[in-house]
Chain A
Amino acid sequence: MLPEKLLLEVVTPEGLLLREEVDTVRAPGALGYFGVLPGHRPFFSTLGLGEISYQIGKESGHLTCFWGFCEVLPDRVSILAEVGERAEDIDVERAEKQRHQAADRMKSIRDEQGFKEAQAAYMKAVTRLSVARKRRD
């Protein structure tokens, strides 16, 4: 008998972000996005930069997620995100500013390491903006 729902739990060092019964989950794995449906085979992955999305019926929700781990069991998904925020907690103005700053840095920086950092900052800002746009009002 396959479980019909997934218990999605997202925790960060600052606290529990989300705990809900959902139908599907999509998360940014280190090797690319992966989707999870109830009854998934046990699976463990590190997470990269991106957004976590989930669906409950026709409703969908979005969170940002920057690095972390994800454990998938047939009836639950536990995500330990290093940094993460809910769509409604995102400060759009700040994210916009960060995006500009990161873009400028990417243009002016020459060394490899610095460029990677700037690129990560840029990705973070863009993800925040995109998640904020999908905010449920």
Chain B
Amino acid sequence: MPALIDIRRRIRSVKNTQQITKAMKMVSAAKLRRAQEAMFAARPYARRMMQVLNSLASRATPEAHPLLVERPQQNVLLIVVTSDKGLCGGFNANITRAALRFLQDEQRVGQTVKLEVVGRKARDFFRKRVWELHAEHVGVFQPLKYETAKVLAKSAIDGFTAGRFDAVYLVFNEFKSVIAQRVAVERLLPVAREEFAPENPPVEHLYEPDAQAIFDEILPRHVEVQLWQALLESAAAEHGARMAAMDAATNNAGEMIDSLTLYMNKVRQAAITKEIIEVVSGASS
């Protein structure tokens, strides 16, 4: 039978842990709100951008711009977005698992895949497995800057136009709701043309300076905005996941304290009973 004092010590330690997880949950809730606001604020821009692209591309051919051209996929770049910090449940494990599956699938059909990782967790994961990392971005979430999306977009676009990659994919956690995330795998380049539902009737626009120059500017921007949106979603999803994980941890700690307290009382009761029996039997003999 364990000594009473040991159980007490255990309870105290679990209580401390519970306090920490509770605090982390609160912090995540506050951060989540901010991340969510940033995400919602960026949506109108992304939506407008999509509409403008639609109305442009419905009047253009796939050959109108190099970023629209589909090539047979030989070399693929995969951008993996995870968080820098852990303690957020399956958030990062889900992403790395999806990324690994993607890598294996692509290699089976004879394509070579290069990796570009965002977030410390993905970097550590793929480093351990000795994957060659094309590029890594660590510590970009505190705070999240548009610059990061720009850098990512530039490396993807440069690689694509130089012919080093025939396609660029993106894996990230999509923010479904505060407690739910979905692993999304999206193709970033070439810019998919099925997004462009033909608009009817197409109005003849005037272009300034000209349609080509506008394509040159808007397609890279579109890629940036998509990346930016993915980063924002991932950041919000991370805080949501951490909040859920810490809430569960707090509850578990509470249950543990309850059962330990019960156990402690039983042990104490047993000790008292034993003493009484000793006293009684001593008196009667």
Contact = CB atoms under 8 A, between A and B. Distances in A.
Contact of A29 (B45, B208, B217, B225): B208
A31 B214 CA distance: 13
Given A42-B203, A46-B214, A78-B48, A13 B209 contact: no
Contact of A31 (B56, B209, B228): B209
B91 to A, nearest CB: 25
Contact of A44 (B44, B45, B56): B56
Interface of A is mostly: strand
Contacts of B44: 11, 15-16
B52 A78 contact: yes
B60 to A, nearest CB: 12
What band does the interface of chain B fall in when counting residues whose beta carbon is under 8 Å from A? 20 to 34
Of B203, B204, B205, B213, the most chain A CB neighbours within 10 A belong to B205
Contacts of B48: 9, 11, 78, 80
Contacts of A43: 205-208
Given A11-B45, A14-B41, A31 B208 contact: yes
Interface string B207-242: 111000110011001000100100000000000000
B24 interface: no
B209 A46 contact: yes
A54 B123 CA distance: 49
B45 A80 contact: yes
B126 interface: no
